[in-house]
């Protein structure tokens, strides 16, 4: 009998025959050894069938969190199923911080890392780049530990759950820091093209929100490290908003993190949305494509060429920047990237033609999709051959492969 479990967006009903919620690593090992086919579920915030299976689905949310700071090594170790928001509050209370967070703190660490989830910041790698080590239960039930200096490590961090169950992660930490968030409105569109390089690097984290229509970009969210200085009174022609804002015009900002240039701990400013509220619009699908940061202006023009298809099914778009990394399946592999994100209306049939049009327009830039969002095809990754060899070693029977993984990673 299949379970009636859905993802956060409600567009995917999981087809798993059985769902397990182990409470110890030993239980994970037993479940995996006994299973013929198995997938891992994080917090279910992906918008496609990446986590799904028709066989055994394992949620790691029940493993003991056990947050352990190693001040000498500059890392924290924690269970993979813990949500960023929970870890961040504990880290900050102990005087520590992570380098960045995604737009929402609700997602599990192992699930976010497995898809290369990112925030924004020209100098900031995606969230997976903070991983210094991980422990995973592989197909035969063995507990394997990989650290950054291991030759397999770069293949195992962004791995779409295809190598095993990540039960523990170790992340780099720094002393805690304060951030000021200011929302600017009505950035003249022409100034974005003219000043893209300066705009993208104008703060620790920069996000542009636009609906791709009109002569202005709706909002710019600047997250600055607090140096005691007030936010600039103008940003390439955009002015600070006169009160709190939600990225989607007309939606109450009550679920958004504090704005108005008020300093506050990193984890209360880097996400756009508060842990205790529903993030984003709550009724939506999402897609995202990454191209090289230096191609951003040409990529904006490419999106605008298909805006007649995009805008009618769009709630809002977000443009962010992500630093290059060395993780084989990371969408930011060896490429400083611009992220073109689309929050769609919650209607798959209506949205797919716009996704296809974007993929066609962005193909010349070698666009890579976000693994956890709505897309049709992913390009071949330079290190795909190495990843397949690693998967063949750790999971020779393909126990962790579902239809999504077979299609996008193994070309089946």
Distance between CA 166 and CA 81 in Å, rounded?
A: 8
Distance between CA 209 and CA 67 in Å, rounded?
A: 35
Q: Shortest approach of ligand FAD to residue 241 CB, angstroms?
A: 21
Local structure of residue 235 (DSSP, 8 states): B
Q: Give the DSSP H or E segment for 290.
A: strand 285-292
Q: Shortest approach of ligand FAD to residue 52 CB, angstroms?
A: 9
Q: Shortest approach of ligand FAD to residue 378 CB, angstroms?
A: 13
50 within 8 A of 13, measured Cβ to Cβ: no
Please report, as ranges, the residues that interact with ligand FAD according to CB under 6 A.
Answer: 8, 39-46, 50-51, 60, 80-81, 102-104, 107-108, 110-112, 114-115, 117-118, 160-161, 165-166, 279-280, 370, 372
Nearer to ligand FAD, 75 or 255 (CB): 255
Could you tell me where the DSSP H helices lie in 184-288? 189-194, 196-200
Instruction: Tokens 């750790």: give the residue.
Output: 394
Distance between CA 90 and CA 97 in Å, rounded?
A: 9
Count H helices and E strands in the chain, helices first: 11, 19
61 within 8 A of 43, measured Cβ to Cβ: yes
Q: Shortest approach of ligand FAD to residue 72 CB, angstroms?
A: 27
Distance between CA 207 and CA 368 in Å, rounded?
A: 19
Nearer to ligand FAD, 236 or 255 (CB): 255
Q: Shortest approach of ligand FAD to residue 301 CB, angstroms?
A: 24
Q: Shortest approach of ligand FAD to residue 101 CB, angstroms?
A: 8
255 within 8 A of 277, measured Cβ to Cβ: yes
Distance between CA 166 and CA 355 in Å, rounded?
A: 31
Q: Shortest approach of ligand FAD to residue 218 CB, angstroms?
A: 17
User: CA 301, 306, 311, 316 torsion: positive or negative?
Assistant: negative
Nearer to ligand FAD, 310 or 374 (CB): 374
Nearer to ligand FAD, 91 or 405 (CB): 405
β strands within 80-202, DSSP E: 96-97, 131-137, 143-147, 165-172, 174-175, 178-188
Q: Shortest approach of ligand FAD to residue 234 CB, angstroms?
A: 27
131 within 8 A of 282, measured Cβ to Cβ: no
Nearer to ligand FAD, 236 or 270 (CB): 270
Q: Shortest approach of ligand FAD to residue 23 CB, angstroms?
A: 14
Nearer to ligand FAD, 236 or 330 (CB): 330
Nearer to ligand FAD, 102 or 240 (CB): 102
Nearer to ligand FAD, 53 or 236 (CB): 53
Local structure of residue 127 (DSSP, 8 states): G
Nearer to ligand FAD, 240 or 279 (CB): 279
CB atoms within 10 A of CB 2: 12
Distance between CA 107 and CA 403 in Å, rounded?
A: 23
Nearer to ligand FAD, 242 or 276 (CB): 276
Q: Shortest approach of ligand FAD to residue 253 CB, angstroms?
A: 15
- Using Cβ positions, the residue closest to ligand FAD within the complex turns out to be 111
Distances (CA, A) of 409 to 165, 241, 403: 18, 44, 10
């Amino acid at each position: 009998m299949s379970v009636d479990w859905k993802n956060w967006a409600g567009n995917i009903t999981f087809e798993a025959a059985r769902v397990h919620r182990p409470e110890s690593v030993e239980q994970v090992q037993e479940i995996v050894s006994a299973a013929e086919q198995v997938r891992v579920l994080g917090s279910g915030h992906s918008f496609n069938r990446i986590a799904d299976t028709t066989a055994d689905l394992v949620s790691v949310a029940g493993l003991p969190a056990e947050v352990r700071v190693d001040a000498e090594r500059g890392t924290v170790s924690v269970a993979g199923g813990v949500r960023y928001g929970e870890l961040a509050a504990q880290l900050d209370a102990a005087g520590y911080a992570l380098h960045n967070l995604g737009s929402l703190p609700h997602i599990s660490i192992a699930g976010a890392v497995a898809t290369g989830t990112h925030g924004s910041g020209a100098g900031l790698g995606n969230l997976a780049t903070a991983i210094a080590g991980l422990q995973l239960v592989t197909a035969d039930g063995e507990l394997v530990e990989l650290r950054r200096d291991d030759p397999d490590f770069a293949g195992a961090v962004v791995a779409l759950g295809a190598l095993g169950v990540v039960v523990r992660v170790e992340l780099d930490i720094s002393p805690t820091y304060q951030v000021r968030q200011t929302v600017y409105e009505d950035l003249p569109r022409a100034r974005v093209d003219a000043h893209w390089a300066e705009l993208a690097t104008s703060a620790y984290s920069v996000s542009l929100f636009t609906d791709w229509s009109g002569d202005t970009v709706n909002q710019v969210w600047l997250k600055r490290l607090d140096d005691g200085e007030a936010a600039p009174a103008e940003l390439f022609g955009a002015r600070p908003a006169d009160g709190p804002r939600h990225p989607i015009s007309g939606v109450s900002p009550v679920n958004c993190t504090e704005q108005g240039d008020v300093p506050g701990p990193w984890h209360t400013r880097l996400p756009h949305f508060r842990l205790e509220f529903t993030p984003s619009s709550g009724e939506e699908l999402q897609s995202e494509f990454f191209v090289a940061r230096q191609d951003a202006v040409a990529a904006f023009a490419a999106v605008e060429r298909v805006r007649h298809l995009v805008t009618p099914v769009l709630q809002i778009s977000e443009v962010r920047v992500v630093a290059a990394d060395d993780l084989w399946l990371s969408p930011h592999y060896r490429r400083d990237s611009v992220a073109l994100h689309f929050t769609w209306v919650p209607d798959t049939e209506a949205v797919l033609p716009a996704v296809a049009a974007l993929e066609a327009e962005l193909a010349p830039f070698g666009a890579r999709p976000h693994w956890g969002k709505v897309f049709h095809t992913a390009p071949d990754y330079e290190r795909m051959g190495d990843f397949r060899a690693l998967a063949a070693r750790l999971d020779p029977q393909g126990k962790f492969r579902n239809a999504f993984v077979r299609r996008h990673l193994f070309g089946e």
